[in-house]
Chain A
Amino acid sequence: GEDVEQSLFLSVREGDSSVINCTYTDSSSTYLYWYKQEPGAGLQLLTYIFSNMDMKQDQRLTVLLNKKDKHLSLRIADTQTGDSAIYFCAAHPPMNRDDKIIFGKGTRLHILP
């Protein structure tokens, strides 16, 4: 089955860019997601990328997908204190096979003043 791995912690200075990396194992995953979870809150979908895309940009967020290496990254430009949260990488197999999202363990982003 699918396995999603990501580093557990990242510290970044306010104003710098944050880059969170993720690897997954199932090359047939159709959609790859980045979710944000703030303390005591549910999951917020930040952005997603379809598996036939290489890059997606949405305001301060840039997602890069290297399908050959099964590597996904999330870049947050001009990181702010409000970006402090846990970021989950997640993969979605093709819907005709499975309809559950496989999550990584999450990367805790800490913003340094």
Chain B
Amino acid sequence: DTGVSQDPRHKITKRGQNVTFRCDPISEHNRLYWYRQTLGQGPEFLTYFQNEAQLEKSRLLSDRFSAERPKGSFSTLEIQRTEQGDSAMYLCASSLGDSEYNEQFFGPGTRLTVL
């Protein structure tokens, strides 16, 4: 399967713990995006990368959140000192990023539950 993959698919943690999620994009895709989806809402943009450069961060991405894409391939999203409000589905997407029509392909998501 050559789609976007995310690991883990589910994560349960206690409040105050740190968690890290991984996203592997489609191999030739230059752009990688993180979105967050809470219950009953549509996905909300968090951040995106062009290769290894982080080009934009939403105001939703507090200081406790950090994302990296060190070699321009996979990306990690870390949440420090988790809070119950961080419970959500974290979606990753990737795209070629070099054309006017820039379809973003989404992974299955990582569902985070903070107890």
Contact = CB atoms under 8 A, between A and B. Distances in A.
Interface residues of B, number: 25
Interface residues of A, number: 23
Interface string A27-66: 0001100000000011111001010000000000000000
A100 B109 contact: no
User: What is the interface of chain B mostly: helix, strand, loop, or mixed?
Assistant: loop
Interface in A66-111: 88, 90, 92, 95, 98-106
Contacts of A104: 42
A32 B105 CA distance: 15
Interface in A1-24: 4
A41 B104 CA distance: 16
Given A100-B45, A105-B40, A45 B31 contact: no
Given A42-B109, A48-B103, A106-B41, 12 more contacts: A31-B101, A42-B107, A43-B43, A43-B106, A88-B43, A95-B100, A99-B97, A100-B33, A100-B56, A101-B35, A103-B43, A104-B42
Interface of A: 4, 30-31, 41-45, 48, 50, 88, 90, 92, 95, 98-106
Interface of B: 31, 33, 35, 40-45, 48, 55-56, 58, 91, 97, 100-109
18 contacts: A41-B108, A42-B91, A42-B108, A43-B106, A45-B105, A48-B103, A88-B42, A99-B55, A99-B56, A99-B97, A100-B33, A100-B56, A101-B35, A101-B104, A103-B43, A104-B42, A105-B41, A105-B42
